[in-house]
Amino acid sequence: MIAADNKLTKVFDWDDAKRRLEESGKTLLDTDNLTPEQSARILDERARQLARVPDQTLDNREVLEVVRFRIGSEEFAIGSEYVLELTRPNAITPIPQLEPHFVGVTNLRGEVTTVIDLGKLLGISADDEPKSQVLVLGRDRPEFAIRVSGIEHVMALRRDELLEPMGVAGCYRDLMLGCSKEGLLVLDGKALLGCEDLYVDQSE
């Protein structure tokens, strides 16, 4: 995370970011004691808080606002403008004879949405803990969802401080903007949504 120097304070409201973090951190902590309907409402509200663009415009030439999330023990981040919601799907239906990173499809508010295992796609090992939540990605509409172990928070990163990502296999290096000093893998949202390997050919 970057320091709030005078230059960046003019384009990013750090107090507002801290408040949003504190508010979002109050949810999901007690969801095991809630009904499925209550849990779903909390997840939807938290996702809206996470994906909301701040009132003050970020200078995207220098600062990137990201949603930080976990897949097993690995931590990732993606630009908040690509995050539509965080939710728990009622069911995920497997699709036979597809690559291992395709978990299946789920019904999100009447729309069939593909669910992806991002760790398998990128060739990054992760533990096998249950991942009951999905992060829905897209711009104007859901494109696909990725299974996640949990959401951390919204944060800001300096673009010029990102390092070369380590441990990302083959051509999927192009899906990464870089890696933070703490080892946070930052996804390129535009490249991710444009990756043909993440879409099922429904003509077959």
* pLDDT tens-digit map of 10-35: 444 555 655 554 554 444 444 455 66
Model confidence over 64-118: pLDDT tens digits? 899 999 888 888 999 999 999 999 888 899 988 899 899 999 998 888 999 999 8
CA distance 159 to 47: 24
DSSP state for residue 117 in the 8-state scheme: -
Model's pTM, two decimal places? Answer: 0.67
CA distance 102 to 163: 29
Closest CA to 150 of 79, 75, 92: 75
CA distance 160 to 46: 29
Strands of 176-179's sheet in order across: 150-158, 63-71, 74-79, 185-187, 176-179
The predicted pLDDT at position 125 comes to 60
Cα–Cα–Cα angle for 192, 164, 4, rounded to 5 degrees? 90
Mean pLDDT, the chain, whole residue set: 76
Sign of CA dihedral 191, 172, 137, 13: negative
**Half-sphere CA count of 15, side-chain side, radius 13 A:** 1
Beta bridge partners of 86: 135
Q: By percentage, how much of the chain surpasses pLDDT 90?
A: 26
The predicted pLDDT at position 10 comes to 40
* Confidence class for position 132, pLDDT limits 50, 70, 90: confident
